[in-house]
A and B are shown apart, each in its own frame.
Chain A
């Protein structure tokens, strides 16, 4: 009897045992403290960054809810207008 342990299997085994660390908060970018010279461009860039992060959160929450058999978040009536 013999077994074959490939690197892929070994990595999968380690991945199953080791829990993820709390590291994704590092997604917050220090660039928010360091702005460009133009007021309008800064306003737009910061608005876009917040909108992108919020939409990403809503999308991933909805994807998780659907995946686990729940209803997605009710649409925001203020946004629907």
Chain B
């Protein structure tokens, strides 16, 4: 009878814990706890499983914001640890038995249309990359004082793509450094990736200088009342002298991105993180590709 009570208590505690975690995932009050935060959910599962396992005495001191656990002997800690593992196992069984078969909309988004049977990366990653491309796939517009909008000139658009690419590369560096510090990437692998990123940033500095100089030259030559078409024409003429240098640096960036995507990211031990980094690189590649195409169509790059 006593044994039955223990089992029922454990199962009940596990069920309550699972319900609590599921509520956290769905609740709008905790937007940072989602289906995709696997590590966080695992930690929560371990902590909440302890609720059912440990009869540890504790005292909360509101003034010191501290929680004091008492009555801990080596034997008690070992016993508690065993009980905790048992409780976690029961809770995991309850979770696996009761969860919906991941059939949520978010997971459906994660599947690429052409992805065959390979495991899909987390929805948040693809959603982020999709949003990034969506935001920068369109055209830049000028907002006029009378409330109307006007298509940006070609070189304003190129500089907009360029600034976005530079920031994406900057964000990529943040991620690589952060992942190295948490052990997801080793130091030698991180070094190789960051050296490429540094080279990309240096090349983009030169590209920025050349495009900006051509755009400023166009403004001076076409005059303050020039139309967008006149500015486009003047900028293309001003940029002619920079054509070979621009082509060389754009090719350097595209080559570096290819290197990064064709082997250097294999040092990232976590599949989901590697996929996310690859998506970020794809974003930079798309933006730089747009710059190249625009310069080519204007006759600056031949």
B81 interfacial by beta-carbon distance below 8 Å: no
A57 with B135: CB separation less than 8 A? no
Binding site of B, secondary structure by majority: helix, strand, loop or mixed? helix
Question: What residues on A are CB-neighbors of B93 within 8 Å?
Answer: none
* In-complex Cβ contact of B66 among A6, A23, A51, A57 (8 A): A6
* In-complex Cβ contact of A19 among B39, B64, B169, B195 (8 A): B39
State how many angstroms separate the Cβ of B223 from the closest Cβ of chain A.
11
A12 interfacial by beta-carbon distance below 8 Å: no
> Would you mind naming 21 contact pairs between A and B with Cβ atoms under 8 Å apart?
A17-B39, A19-B273, A22-B125, A24-B175, A32-B160, A33-B140, A35-B160, A39-B231, A40-B219, A42-B152, A46-B160, A46-B212, A47-B159, A47-B212, A50-B159, A51-B205, A53-B167, A54-B202, A64-B180, A73-B195, A79-B205
B171 with A28: CB separation less than 8 A? yes
The number of residues on chain A lying at the interface, defined by a beta carbon within 8 Å of a beta carbon of chain B, is 54
Interface residues of A (CB under 8 A from B): 1-7, 14, 17-30, 32-37, 39-40, 42-43, 46-47, 49-51, 53-58, 60-62, 64-65, 68, 70, 73, 76, 78-79
State how many angstroms separate the Cβ of A5 from the closest Cβ of chain B.
5
Contact indicator per residue, chain B 178-199, by CB within 8 Å of chain A (1) or not (0): 1110101001001100110111
The number of residues on chain B lying at the interface, defined by a beta carbon within 8 Å of a beta carbon of chain A, is 81
Select the stretch in B9-17, B112-120, B275-283, B293-301 that faces chain A: B275-283
A28 with B276: CB separation less than 8 A? no
A26 to B124 alpha-carbon distance, docked (Å): 12
Q: If the complex has contacts A1-B72, A76-B206, are A53 and B166 also in contact, measured as CB distance less than 8 A?
A: yes
Question: What residues on A are CB-neighbors of B178 within 8 Å?
Answer: 20, 24
Most chain B CB atoms below 10 A, which of A46, A56, A76: A46
A46 with B162: CB separation less than 8 A? yes
Q: If the complex has contacts A56-B170, A60-B174, are A19 and B163 also in contact, measured as CB distance less than 8 A?
A: no
Question: What residues on B are CB-neighbors of A47 within 8 Å?
Answer: 159, 208, 212
B141 interfacial by beta-carbon distance below 8 Å: yes
Which 5 residue pairs are nearest across A and B when measured between Cβ atoms? Answer: A46-B159, A53-B166, A22-B276, A24-B171, A57-B201
Q: If the complex has contacts A2-B72, A34-B143, are A23 and B128 also in contact, measured as CB distance less than 8 A?
A: yes
A21 with B219: CB separation less than 8 A? no
B280 with A22: CB separation less than 8 A? yes
A40 to B231 alpha-carbon distance, docked (Å): 11
* In-complex Cβ contact of B135 among A30, A60, A70 (8 A): A30
* In-complex Cβ contact of A35 among B65, B152, B162, B201 (8 A): B152
Contact indicator per residue, chain B 213-230, by CB within 8 Å of chain A (1) or not (0): 001100100000000000
B72 with A7: CB separation less than 8 A? no
Question: What residues on B are CB-neighbors of A60 within 8 Å?
Answer: 170, 173-174, 177
B174 with A24: CB separation less than 8 A? yes
B205 with A35: CB separation less than 8 A? no
Contact indicator per residue, chain B 124-160, by CB within 8 Å of chain A (1) or not (0): 1100110010011011111111000000110110011
A43 with B159: CB separation less than 8 A? yes
A62 to B273 alpha-carbon distance, docked (Å): 23
